[in-house]
Amino acid sequence: MKVNEYRSMSVGEVSQHLTERQEELSNLRFQLVTKQLASPISVRRVRREIAQLRTVLREHALGLHALVSPQATEGESSDRAQDVKET
């Protein structure tokens, strides 16, 4: 996913994606050590996604980019994403 797609999600969704990617990285590292990993580049990809997710959460905490509230509907979330882009 792209960073802008993460910014259009709620905090809970971003946190959930972060947890999933951390579990995936753990599995990939295990496969890498046991020589079962077909593509070592996937470790780099997942590490990059984790960094992007952490950055989005940190930006939200600092108030640089507001994430969508969980109560927002689909129409409101796209409007909110446009507001964030404009600032």
Mean pLDDT, 10 residues at a time, over the chain (87 residues)? 86 94 96 92 96 93 81 51 51
User: How many CA atoms does the CB half-sphere of 74 hold within 13 Å?
Assistant: 0
Q: Is the Cβ–Cβ distance between 31 and 37 less than 8 Å?
A: yes
Nearest CA to 68 out of 2, 3, 7, 18 is that of 7
What six digits make up the tokens of 31?
Answer: 């496969």
What six digits make up the tokens of 12?
Answer: 């809970």
Query: Given this model, what pLDDT does residue 73 score?
Result: 42
